[in-house]
Amino acid sequence: MHVRTLHVRFRWTIPVLLLAARVALATDGIEPIGVSVQSRMRGGADVAVGDSTLSQIDNPATLSLSPRGLYSLDESSKLAFIDLPWRGPYETVHSKTKLIHLHNLGLAMPVDDRLTFGLALHSKAGVGTSFNQRHLLIPWMERRVGSDMKVMGFNLSAAYKLTEKLSLGVGGRVEVATSRFSKVLGPADIDFGRGYAYGGGFQLGLHYQARKDLAFGLGYRSPTWFGDLEGGRAKASLLGILPVPLGDAKISDLRLPQRVTMGAAWDATDWLKLIGEVRWLNYADGTFNRMTIVTDGLVDVRYPMPLGYRDIWAFILGAEFKLAEHWILGTGYQYLTTPVDRANLSPMCSIPVQHHFTVGLRYETPRWMVGAGYILAFRQSLKGPGYSRIPLGFDYGLSEVAQTQHMISVGFGYRW
């Protein structure tokens, strides 16, 4: 979904799905492309397909598609490599990025022919930026700016077949988010120590098998409502000298966006499946649009830190080709509408990339599956307009960032 002397890093713990500091592998906001390896092969589309127990994260109704009389377990992992150069008023620097990894695990437990329960662990965000650079009002020294954030969630879901064609799914989740960042604001260098937040939300879904070869899916995920992200401490220095403790620090009322997803899947032939999906993510009403930093020290401070995320629409087209009895090749394309206002450019967040290409191959039997895929997020750039909506963010209005993402996805499934 997203800078410097105000060093804020958001990290995940326990599959903690954190806010995103964006040099990471988040693609549409803090959302990774797809949850299962199958969905990542076809551009992230999943809400109408449901060929993995991890599909319950996007649409809990797809649990009803799990094989009757068998427990099903699926795992998927994703590794991301990011190229993120930042061109400031004085120089161009590259973010010191690490290998970013996300992991998901899902379990489906059919009770009878109509009712199925599901459990899932889901991680997202995992983003982070770190730049060493010189700034307009502190040009004599390099200062580190950047952030990281991680979020992890635990989902409990259930699906019930209302008719032979229509299934309803409901679920709840708890999430943990962690973050830390550093940033430069005019002549001041600020560090925000690691904080944590705990929250939750719910999800709903419908799956309709209109014909044997045609299915539709609808998924809704509520916002994740957290309390304050707190536990860290803040410090600041003027002109790069004499750090001064600011006391306890927090981000007020952390909130991650709600999402609506609609999709369709069509078995055009015995060897070709076509999938389409549309998503709406409501970032404008959440923390990724408007964020406030609060400190509790000798002097209480409330500092606005607008990241400027707009609502995002994602459009996905995917295809799967059955090459042989057990071999399936998938490919897809995902496009996002413009996610970030350039007047809010900040090294705290990498920019969500708009164009993605995916491809993957899996081997599938009635009892087990293994697969791997590759995702390319094409180069995306964002340039400040000469001014910044971030108070004292002079450098950022005169800067430009570009980002390219390479991601490898692997996964397996087992039925017993």
Is residue 309 domain-resident?
yes
Read off the pLDDT of residues 12-41 as tens digits, 9 standing for 90 and up.
Answer: 222 222 233 333 334 455 677 889 999 999
Please say whether the beta carbons of 180 and 12 come within 8 A. no
**For 327, what's the count of Cα atoms within 13 Å in the CB-facing half-sphere?**
4
- Spell out where 299-385 has E strands: 301-304, 312-322, 327-336, 355-364, 368-383
* Of residues 302, 325, 203, the one with CA closest to residue 247: 302
Is the pLDDT score of 357 beyond 90? yes
User: Which structural domain range is residue 136 located in?
Assistant: 7-415
pTM of full prediction above 0.85: yes
Q: What is the pLDDT of residue 346?
A: 84
Q: What is the pLDDT of residues 261-312, one digit of tens each?
A: 999 999 999 999 999 999 999 988 988 888 888 888 776 778 888 888 889 9
In 239-271, the DSSP E strands lie at 241-251, 255-256, 259-267
The CATH number covering residue 13 comes to 2.40.160.60
Residue of 401, 403, 358, 400 whose CA lies nearest to 379: 403
| Percentages (nearest 5) of helix, strand, coil residues in the chain | 5, 60, 35
Domain assignment of residue 94, yes or no: yes
**C-beta of residue 102 within 8 angstroms of C-beta of residue 122:** no
Give me 208's structure tokens: 């309709």
Stronger pLDDT, 48 or 233, i.e. the higher one: 48
Q: What are phi and psi of 62, to 5 degrees?
A: -70, -10
Report yes or no on 58 lying in a domain.
Answer: yes
Asked whether residue 61 is assigned to any structural domain, the reply reads: yes
Residue 1 placed within a domain = no
Secondary structure (DSSP) of 264-277: EEEE-SSSEEEEEE
* Band of residue 138 on the pLDDT scale cut at 50, 70, 90: confident
pLDDT confidence tier of residue 99, bands split at 50, 70 and 90: low
> Does residue 2 fall inside a structural domain?
no
Domains identified in the chain, total number: 1
Give me the half-sphere count of Cα atoms (radius 13 Å) on the Cβ side of residue 225: 5
* Most confident of the ranges 90-104, 173-187, 362-376: 362-376
Question: How far, in Å, CA of 52 to CA of 37, rounded?
Answer: 9
Average pLDDT over residues 63-76: 96
**Of 163 and 246, more confident:** 163
Domain for residue 269, yes or no?
yes
